[in-house]
């Protein structure tokens, strides 16, 4: 129920804001707005002020909305009202009305990010877990336990790293650009800092996923190698492990953090089982020797080890909060960064450098809505900001039937001095609908694959 409510509320807010942008600028430009609708299909609620020409509607199908304006191309307009019709407005006014929807979505994202920056958010500290074996981070000399103070991608000036989320975001952008990353790290608080260079270079895949961060080697923040909830029918329960046990060693390997322990368990596939055998476990001040045999399961067709327990305690956290000006500036910066990252990913998918699996449909978005809402208001606001950016950017794409497609028509009109002909308009609209349906089909297929897989 929470997932459904969070999803519907998110759609209602983002669509209403988008359409309000169109509506507000249309009214400011002197265009008569006949209907403002959030959703399509059967009307659920309808109201109209006595002195207003606009009918406000909430419809049953929430995946979209529209603003219907007086327009001679849709219905006859009385001669004395032609100056109120959209099609008779100057080119600049028409372009402003069309662009207002997606731009207001981007503005909403700035506001949401700013509110989160002002209120503060709990995030994992930028203290690194032991890097993945053979990864870029391990080759750079990182061993785990380092605190990242500053970071820079390529030739940029190093900036302070407030949290592990900040570091992960910088790594993702650098990997997409094929840029190296320099880190200033320290082993002990107040100790001597040293510089580390992560030579990322061109990545074999442009997908920002778990595999990318495993290649880099920085998968998560440092956590205690502690056993959490234990499933009654798993390998951990069979070996006698309990919640709260602190794992000191696995066979001859000393364990220093939860990520390292998870890697050892995943690698126990019956061949060289590094996580099989005797574990040294600290429990209530005593050290116990327990024999643990991980179960081998398939994940995406590959065998991995599992013990049927949550592995690793929560990481050290820090409250990231900004002042009034810094918070607003960081809100604009994050909106810009997410927008450009979205555009780059779309471009890479078009030319085949990134997988179409990156397209998410309504089922995945609904799942993220529910999960973020369950984590609290701050995480839900961050989810709304991310989706608002995506909605704004996608609608600005030069694809017929989208706002960006209409802006493309207006650009043609500005350059040539004449509008797109009716026959070409029809052809482009059909092509745009076909592309849009194809994208929606791929996104829905990806959703079902994630759910059923």
Q: Which of 19, 146, 179, 263 is catalytic?
A: 19
DSSP 233: T
Q: Is 92 exposed, middle or buried (0-12, 13-18, 19+ CB in 10 A)?
A: exposed
Residues in Cβ contact with 33 at an 8 Å cutoff, skipping those fewer than 6 apart: 23, 26, 27, 53, 54, 67, 68, 69, 70
Task: Indicate the length of the chain as a whole number.
Answer: 453
Query: Has 19 been annotated as catalytic?
Result: yes
- Residue owning tokens 């791929």: 442
- Residue owning tokens 């694959």: 449
Q: Could you give phi then psi for residue 136, rounded to 5 degrees?
A: -60, -40
- C-alpha separations of 333 from 106, 179, 251, 280, 382 in Å: 12, 20, 48, 47, 14
CB-based contact 411:91 (threshold 8 Å): no
Instruction: Provide the β-strand partners of residue 43.
Output: 59
Q: Could you give phi then psi for residue 433, rounded to 5 degrees?
A: -60, -40
CB-based contact 158:149 (threshold 8 Å): no
**Paired tokens of 2:** 């929470």
First and final CA of the chain: distance in angstroms?
23
Measured between alpha carbons, how far is 105 from 21 in angstroms, rounded to an integer? 8
Side-chain-side CA neighbours of 381 within 13 Å: the count stands at 17
Instruction: Provide the β-strand partners of residue 36.
Output: 56, 67
- C-alpha separations of 171 from 154, 192, 216, 272, 405 in Å: 11, 24, 8, 32, 33
Q: Is 417 exposed, middle or buried (0-12, 13-18, 19+ CB in 10 A)?
A: exposed
Side-chain-side CA neighbours of 168 within 13 Å: the count stands at 20
Measured between alpha carbons, how far is 448 from 324 in angstroms, rounded to an integer? 43
Measured between alpha carbons, how far is 208 from 272 in angstroms, rounded to an integer? 30
Instruction: Provide the β-strand partners of residue 305.
Output: 296
- Which residue, among 218, 205, 199, has the nearest Cα to 176 in the 3D structure? 205
> Known catalytic residues?
19
């Amino acid at each position: 129920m929470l997932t459904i409510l969070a999803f519907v509320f998110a759609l209602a807010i983002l669509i209403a804001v988008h359409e309000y942008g169109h509506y507000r600028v249309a009214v400011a430009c002197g265009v008569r707005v006949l209907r403002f609708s959030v959703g399509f299909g059967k009307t659920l609620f309808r109201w109209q002020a006595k002195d207003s020409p606009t009918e406000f509607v909430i419809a049953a199908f929430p995946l979209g909305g529209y603003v219907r304006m007086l327009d001679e191309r849709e219905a006859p307009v009385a001669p004395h009202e032609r100056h109120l019709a959209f099609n008779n407005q100057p080119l600049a006014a028409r372009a402003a009305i069309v662009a207002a929807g997606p731009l207001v979505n981007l503005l909403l994202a700035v506001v949401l990010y700013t509110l989160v920056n002002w209120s503060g958010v709990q995030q994992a500290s930028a203290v690194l877990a032991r890097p993945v074996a053979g990864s870029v981070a391990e080759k750079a000399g990182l061993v785990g336990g380092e605190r990242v103070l500053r970071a820079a991608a390529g030739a940029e000036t190093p900036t302070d790293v407030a949290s592990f989320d900040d570091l992960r975001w910088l790594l993702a952008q650098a990997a997409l650009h094929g840029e190296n990353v320099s880190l200033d790290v320290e082993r002990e608080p107040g100790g001597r800092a040293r510089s580390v260079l992560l030579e990322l270079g061109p990545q074999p895949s442009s997908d920002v996923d778990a595999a990318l961060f495993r290649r880099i080697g920085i998968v998560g923040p440092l956590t205690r190698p502690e056993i959490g909830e234990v499933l009654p029918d798993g390998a951990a329960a069979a070996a006698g492990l309990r919640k709260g046990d602190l794992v000191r060693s696995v066979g001859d390997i000393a364990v220093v953090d939860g990520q390292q322990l998870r890697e050892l368990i995943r690698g126990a596939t019956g061949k060289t089982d590094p996580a099989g055998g005797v574990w040294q476990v600290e429990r209530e001040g005593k050290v116990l020797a327990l024999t643990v045999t991980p179960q081998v399961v398939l994940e995406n067709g590959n065998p991995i080890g599992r013990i049927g327990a949550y592995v690793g305690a929560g990481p050290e956290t820090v409250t990231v909060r900004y002042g009034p000006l810094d918070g607003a500036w960081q809100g604009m910066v994050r909106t810009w960064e997410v927008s450009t990252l979205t555009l780059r990913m779309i471009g890479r998918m078009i030319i085949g450098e990134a997988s179409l699996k990156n397209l998410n449909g309504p089922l995945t978005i609904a799942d993220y809505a529910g999960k973020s809402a369950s984590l609290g208001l701050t995480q839900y606001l961050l989810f709304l900001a991310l989706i608002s950016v995506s909605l704004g950017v996608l609608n600005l794409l030069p694809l017929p039937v989208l706002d960006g497609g209409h802006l493309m028509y207006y650009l043609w009109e500005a350059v040539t001095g004449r509008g797109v002909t009716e026959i070409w308009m029809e052809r482009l609209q059909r092509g745009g609908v076909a592309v849009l349906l194809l994208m929606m089909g791929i996104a829905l297929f990806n959703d079902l694959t994630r759910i059923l897989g």
